[in-house]
Amino acid sequence: MPFIDSTYFTGEINISQAANDTQLALAIPQYETEILIKLLGYELYSLLMDDLVSGEPVSERFIKLVDGDDFTINYNGEEIVSHWDGLRNAGKISFIAYYVYYNYVERSITPFYGTGISMAPQGKDWERVSAVNKLCSVWEKCRALYGGYDQPSAYNYLANSELFPEWRYTPMLQMNPLGI
């Protein structure tokens, strides 16, 4: 059972009719698993999945990871209290949703047909625009929530917690519209 659902796809990552989109429903668990293994490492991800009972974490450390927790960052000798919103949260802002959105849109732009890859057909009164700027913006927001060093990101929470000794982090690469 995924930590996010179609209700996370609003605002900057709005997907029209997300609740009824079967392709999105299939993409959520696929891409959520992918990004969580990158964030946590396979061992910690497996421990998290094993800890779930009906989609709810049982042990205290995983409850804090999923539902949020306060933590302290030591910055230049000063302790700064911050808050991790969790893998799922009432604000519906999640690096998982941004990652799913990025991959969902990227694969929707160029569907595979029997004759190969092509752009989605253009409507009668539609003008095609590049999705590059939008996708780069979404990717960078995902990176900030996932591993931003100057905010309450997943990285900052995990790096400043003693609850997850199995943690193995894979950084996300930066992206820009020029592909560099």
> What does the pLDDT read at residue 55?
92
Q: What average pLDDT does the segment 29-44 reach?
A: 98
Q: How far apart are CA 40 and CA 48, in angstroms?
A: 9
75 or 158: which leads in pLDDT: 158
* Residue 88 in domain: yes
* Residue 180 in domain: no
Collect all residues with Cβ–Cβ distance below 8 Å to 124 and sequence separation of at least 6: none
Q: How far apart are CA 154 and CA 60, in angstroms?
A: 17
Q: Which two tokens stand for residue 14?
A: 């709005």
* Residue 168 in domain: no
> What does the pLDDT read at residue 111?
60
Q: How far apart are CA 163 and CA 22, in angstroms?
A: 36
* Residue 20 in domain: yes
pTM to 2 decimal places: 0.88
Collect all residues with Cβ–Cβ distance below 8 Å to 149 and sequence separation of at least 6: 155, 156
Q: Which two tokens stand for residue 150?
A: 């100057």
> What does the pLDDT read at residue 52?
97
Collect all residues with Cβ–Cβ distance below 8 Å to 145 and sequence separation of at least 6: 93, 94, 95, 98, 153, 154
From residue 49, alpha-carbon distances to 28, 54, 55, 168, 179 in Å are 16, 11, 9, 16, 35
* Residue 121 in domain: no
Per-residue pLDDT band at 58 (split at 50, 70, 90): very high
- pLDDT tens sequence across 69-122: 999 988 888 998 999 999 999 999 999 999 999 999 988 876 655 555 555 555
> What does the pLDDT read at residue 175?
78
The number of domains in the chain is 1
Per-residue pLDDT band at 125 (split at 50, 70, 90): low
Q: What average pLDDT does the segment 140-153 reach?
A: 88
**Mean pLDDT of the residues in the chain:** 89
* Residue 1 in domain: no
* Residue 172 in domain: no
Neighbour-count burial of 8, counting CB atoms closer than 10 A to its CB (0-12 exposed, 13-18 middle, 19+ buried): buried
* Residue 25 in domain: yes
58 or 126: which leads in pLDDT: 58
Residues spanned by the domain of 84: 6-116+127-159
| Length of the chain measured in residues | 180
The β-bridge relationship of strands 56-57 and 69-75 is unpaired
